[in-house]
Amino acid sequence: MAAQRVILEASEMPTHWYNVVADMPNPPAPPLGPDGKPVSPEMMMQIFSGPILEQEMSAERWIPIPEPVREIYALWRPTPLCRAERLEQALGTPAKIYYKNESVSPAGSHKPNSAVPQAYLNKMAGIKRMTTETGAGQWGSSLSFATQMFGIELRIYMVKVSYNQKPFRRSMMQTWGAEVLASPTDMTNAGRKALAADPNNPGSLGLAISEAVEEAAGRADTKYGLGSVLNHVLLHQTVIGLEAKKQFSKIGVYPDMIFAPCGGGSNFAGAAFPFLADKAAGKNVRLVAVEPTSCPTLTKGHYAYDFGDESGYTPMMLMYTLGHDFMPPSIHAGGLRYHGDSPLVSQLYKEGLVEAVAVPQVATFAAGVQFARAEGIIPAPESNHAIRAVIDEALRCKETGEPKVLFFNLSGHGHFDMASYDRYLAGQLEDYAYPEAAIEAALHRLPKVPA
Amino acid sequence: MAAQRVILEASEMPTHWYNVVADMPNPPAPPLGPDGKPVSPEMMMQIFSGPILEQEMSAERWIPIPEPVREIYALWRPTPLCRAERLEQALGTPAKIYYKNESVSPAGSHKPNSAVPQAYLNKMAGIKRMTTETGAGQWGSSLSFATQMFGIELRIYMVKVSYNQKPFRRSMMQTWGAEVLASPTDMTNAGRKALAADPNNPGSLGLAISEAVEEAAGRADTKYGLGSVLNHVLLHQTVIGLEAKKQFSKIGVYPDMIFAPCGGGSNFAGAAFPFLADKAAGKNVRLVAVEPTSCPTLTKGHYAYDFGDESGYTPMMLMYTLGHDFMPPSIHAGGLRYHGDSPLVSQLYKEGLVEAVAVPQVATFAAGVQFARAEGIIPAPESNHAIRAVIDEALRCKETGEPKVLFFNLSGHGHFDMASYDRYLAGQLEDYAYPEAAIEAALHRLPKVPA
């Protein structure tokens, strides 16, 4: 029988995360405050605890994974590396397709890889409460699980339209003991202002971020948790790629190309960055971030300083952006609708070390269904983006006869996204390419950085 | 770090299923036809293919798992054996709690363990199509996955009220390529008769079985697949307990008590029967089937010949039953609402080799939430029954100081059951003990077996 799954022992779980900053050709551009100067740790300490900030600003290559974090990781990690042989056969490709199955976590995605250390590090800093925001609920459910593991209270501002239309991720958060509020609420200035303007405001991710950040900034016992974009979140996710490297090494295989969905960047960074170390050392490996054509941040956006949130509460970060006031169409891959991208991913893309490709929505669901029918697992819509790009490459290999090794991050399952599959199967999904004119116009609304 | 998960290599997957018939003190009572005589293989061949029937009637102790079945099993098997240390700590018990995580299958439960060999054996017999019924959708989704793996067409009669109220399992079946019809349909005599009597008939599992069986009986290229109750289904599930025994053996532990949910019986049999072999050889191990108080088949039912379905289309089987016309209250553990129980489980219970306990619904959800908050995984409502019984036993151990080893089958996840969790968290779930008088009355409606 073919070895379809490469399993690591618990003792083989990585002991350190990999910090790509150590291998970047240039140091990362600093986040800037309203005065145009790099933000001070004191400013960041309003919403993040010390141990989190230390990781955020570190340039050390290896950062230890605390033992209590590894103990919680051990509930589902190391995750399997699987060969998708049945998909290869269905495609008739000489390419070999491997994937890392991150859907086996309690929350069903890679997100707990960062939620767990965030909860633990805050606990160590004496923090009793956390706040966060969530849209469709992947991050909110992951942080609910993680804070429950360490006895931290969690309040989640969930975009009201999702709160009402997608109750099951909310139930999941509540099962893990979190308090979930429909945002906008009347508990913050940002929420009250929005409700005063429109009592029926359906909420938005930007507004929910503002509420969660405002509450954390106003309470000494409370800190904020973010699920992507920032350096420390990307760092935590590298456990994916580090495990994958060990697994490939066990079977004497090395991937030619690595694919992962890219929204805020932590999914892609987690799978790809550990391989970038080899690339920096001369290894020929291509790292491909896959984004939706409806939110084409890397492939169509501007490389410029912009805010991380809609309201402009956060520091300005140098990144690819469609403009902080970008209103992404409501595609089903909620995790890929962010206007910007991680500054680290952006800089590496700018410097040519990583590639990016955009794929349209309907084709991503076609890829997800093809994968499910070959390999069993029904993937999350975000993961379908990587699968689409992998299938496209595998079909190119079929033309050329190249037996490339393709690796992708199966970042989550689609159990809470079946309504989207339903719409796809009923022929009701549509493609949407964000208009070039709107992207061009966003350039003129980017914040002015004081000299 | 504690070894919380015991993992087997792909090469350690069992090569044979265990047939408990070989170790039963008495041979199993035969199913009877309307004439009161044992049903002939010819009669059964109308709806089951030859290789399936051969397993159904076998008395061999070990039955080989075909290589193509093991290849599909390898997409998720061997499954982890996990120690629930955080739950032990939360309970403050000296007991050690282990569980087999069957929720990692593509369909999210143990059901594919039988769906895959059923699809394969039918394929080998030249069958092109299968039919089945499904209520909430666990079995239907598992057989959809399995038939897709072997290129067999599948038509599923899904109880209409579930079809309309629980669309996401339906989407899952369709994603795997199955045709799903809301039962009653106008495509069978049974369906047309029901619709003629009441055009708004909401359907029932018994009626859906009748439709699926009728279609299979009427087409030479089509066979029927059942998800529990019968000997061959229980046989396939023993891969769970066989793996668990290897895993316990690796860590030098042997369980004192084994718990599994019990509806039709395959869940319980799969986890427990492989240990019964040791019990038959003198080992002191207790096997506990856990059922709902609202459907107390083993603990309150009659041991008698009864039909397997509501309409009386099937042979009569000697089993514990609440009467084939039993209308179970609509508890949320849809998989445990069956009026009868596997003849093998029933006979072993009658003979004192297995035990049974009934637990009330609200307490099962309390157990499930406690488990989720300690161990991460949100369990299926069926699994919550086993968890309730394990927690009760662990709390008894706390009283007595006994460091018992308790093992249970975490048969599935609750991702498609969050509405039930929602109702539990909102305090809207109720307990229901099936009335003694109704059980007594059922005795008089059991079929008369011709002498």
What CATH number is associated with residue B348?
3.40.50.1100
Residue A165 lies in a domain: no
Distance of CA A330 to the CA centre of its chain: 17
How confident is the model over A393-397, as a mean pLDDT?
A: 98
End-to-end CA distance of chain B: 64
Helix (H) or strand (E) holding A122: helix A112-124
CA–chain centroid gap for B166, Å, is 20
Distances (CA, A) of A226 to A46, A131, A134, B389, B426: 14, 9, 10, 39, 29
d(C-alpha B358, C-alpha B365), whole Å: 14
B172 domain residue, yes or no: no
Q: Measured between alpha carbons, how far is A132 from A230 in angstroms, rounded to an integer?
A: 14
The full length of chain A comes to 451
Give the phi and the psi of residue B216 in degrees, each rounded to 5. Answer: -65, -40
Whether the Cβ atoms of residue A332 and residue A420 lie closer than 8 Å to each other = yes
Pick B421's closest partner by Cβ from A2, A104, A171.
Answer: A171
Between CA B280 and CA B271 the distance in angstroms is 16
Mean pLDDT over A3-15 rounds to 89
- Please tell me which residue, A140 or A335, carries the higher pLDDT value: A140
Would you call A145 an interface residue with chain B, using a CB distance cutoff of 8 Å?
A: yes
pLDDT bracket for residue A177 (50, 70, 90)? very high
Backbone angles phi, psi at B39, to 5 degrees: -70, 145
Confirm if A347 and A28 have CB atoms less than 8 A apart: yes
Q: Over the Cα atoms of chain B, what is R_g?
A: 21
Mean pLDDT, rounded, of chain A: 94
Phi, psi of A16 (to 5 degrees): -135, 150
Local structure of A198: helix, strand or coil: coil
User: Is residue A134 scored above 70 in pLDDT?
Assistant: yes
Interchain contact, A76 vs B378, CB within 8 Å: no
Q: CA A381, CA A402: separation in Å to the nearest integer?
A: 28
> d(Cα B179, Cα A34) in Å, to the nearest integer?
58
Residue A401 belongs to a domain:
yes
Task: Calculate what percentage of chain A has a pLDDT beyond 70.
Answer: 99
H or E element at residue A385: helix A381-400
Q: B286 has which bridge partners?
A: B257
Judged by CB atoms closer than 8 Å, whether chains meet at B171 and A376 is answered as no
pLDDT at position A322: 93
Cα–Cα distance for residue pair A46/A62, rounded to 1 Å = 27
Asked if pLDDT for residue A325 goes beyond 90, the answer is: no
For chain A, the C-alpha Rg in angstroms (whole number) is 21
Distances B304 to A156, B29, B449 between C-alpha atoms, Å:
54, 11, 10
Closest CA to A420 of A349, A332, A313: A332
List, in sequence order, every beta strand (DSSP E) within A166-264: 179-183, 222-224, 257-261
Residue in chain B closest to A7 (alpha carbons) equals B9
> Of A220, A201, A217, nearest to A209 (Cα)?
A217
Give A137's contacts (C-beta < 8 A, 6+ positions apart).
A158, A162, A166, A169, A170, A172, A173, A416
Closest by alpha carbon to B80, among B451, B442, B377? B377
User: From residue A402, how far is each of A395, A397, A399, B411 by CA, in Å?
Assistant: 10, 5, 8, 42
> Is A405 part of any domain?
yes
Tell me the pLDDT band of A193, cut-offs 50, 70 and 90. very high
User: Total domain count for chain B?
Assistant: 1
Please check whether residue B62 is in contact with residue B242, taking contact to mean a CB–CB distance below 8 angstroms.
Answer: no
* Residues forming beta bridges with residue A153, ordered by sequence position: A129
Number of Cβ within a 10 Å radius of residue B87: 23
Q: At what angle do helices A231-250 and A266-280 cross, to 10 degrees?
A: 60
Backbone angles phi, psi at B319, to 5 degrees: -160, 170
Give whole-number Cα distances, B130 to B147, B224, B269, in Å: 8, 5, 25
Among the partner-chain residues A75, A174, A421, the one whose CB lies closest to the CB of B376 is A75
B-chain CB neighbours of A113 within 8 Å are none
Q: Has residue A292 been placed in a domain?
A: yes
Residue A72 CB neighbour total at 10 angstroms: 24
In whole angstroms, give the CA distance from residue A110 to residue A271. Answer: 10
Whether B376 sits inside 8 A of A71 (CB atoms) is no
What's the token pair of residue B304?
């008698």
Our CA dihedral for A384, A387, A393, A399, rounded to 10 degrees, sits at -100
A219 assigned to some structural domain: no
- Selected residue with higher pLDDT from A391 and A1: A391
Burial of A426 (0-12, 13-18, 19+ CB in 10 A): exposed
Q: Report the SS3 class of residue A95.
A: coil
Which positions in chain A touch B377 (Cβ < 8 Å)? 75, 106
Is B172 an 8 Å CB contact of chain A? yes
Q: Which residues of B touch A373 (CB under 8 A)?
A: 148, 175-177
Least confident of A282-291, A327-336, A342-351, B148-157: A327-336
Hey, which residues 261-290 in chain B have their CB within 8 Å of chain A? Answer: none
State the Cα–Cα distance between residues A18 and B419, nearest whole angstrom: 40
Q: Which of A351, A303, A356, A315 is nearest to A24 (CA)?
A: A351
The better pLDDT of the pair A432, A149 is held by: A149
Angle in degrees, CA B179, B183, B185, rounded to 5 = 85
pLDDT tens for each residue of A196-214 = 999 999 888 888 998 999 9
Q: Nearest Cα to B423, choosing from B373, B362, B363? A: B362
B421 touches chain A (CB under 8 A): yes
Q: What is the pLDDT of residue B207?
A: 87
Single out the residue of A392, A361, A351, A234 nearest to residue A296, CA to CA.
Answer: A361
Q: Does A98 touch chain B (CB under 8 A)?
A: no
Contact at CB, B176 and A372, closer than 8 angstroms: yes
pLDDT tier at A332, thresholds 50, 70, 90? confident
- Residue in B closest to A67 by C-alpha: B1
SS3 annotation, B188-210: CHHHHHHHHHCCCCCCCHHHHHH
DSSP annotation string for A271-333: HHHHHHHHHHTT---EEEEEEETTS-HHHHSEEEEEESSTTS-SPEEEEEES-TT------S-
* Structural domain that includes position A417: 67-108+232-443
Residue A109 C-alpha, separation from nearest chain B C-alpha, in angstroms: 13
Nearest CA in chain B to A144: B373
Confirm whether A145 is domain-assigned: no
Q: What pLDDT, on a 0 to 100 scale, did the predictor assign at position A168?
A: 93
Task: Please state, in angstroms and rounded to a whole number, the distance separating the CA atoms of residues A297 and A321.
Answer: 6
Tokens 């009427």 appear where? B218
- Residue B290 inside a domain? The answer is yes
Residue B390 φ then ψ, to 5°: -65, -45
Query: How far apart are alpha carbons A194 and A196 in whole angstroms?
Result: 5
Which pLDDT belongs to residue B2? 52
> Helix %, strand %, coil % for chain B, to 5?
45, 20, 35
A376 shares contact with chain B (CB less than 8 Å):
yes
Angle at A7 (CA atoms; ends B238, B375), nearest 5 degrees: 70
Distances, alpha carbon A278 to alpha carbons A254, A265, A357, B30, in Å? 11, 20, 22, 65
Write the single-letter amino acid at A127.
Answer: I
Per-residue pLDDT of chain B (451 residues; tens, 9 = 90+): 454 899 999 899 999 999 999 999 999 999 999 999 999 988 899 999 999 999 999 999 999 999 999 999 999 999 999 999 999 999 999 999 999 999 999 999 999 999 999 999 999 999 999 999 998 899 999 999 999 999 999 999 999 988 988 889 999 999 999 999 999 999 999 999 999 999 999 888 888 998 999 999 999 999 999 999 999 999 999 999 999 999 999 999 999 999 999 999 999 999 999 999 999 889 999 999 999 999 999 999 999 999 988 778 889 999 999 998 887 777 777 778 788 999 999 999 999 999 999 999 999 999 999 999 999 999 999 999 999 999 999 999 999 999 999 999 999 999 999 999 999 999 999 998 888 888 889 888 899 888 7
Name the token pair of A302: 């501007």
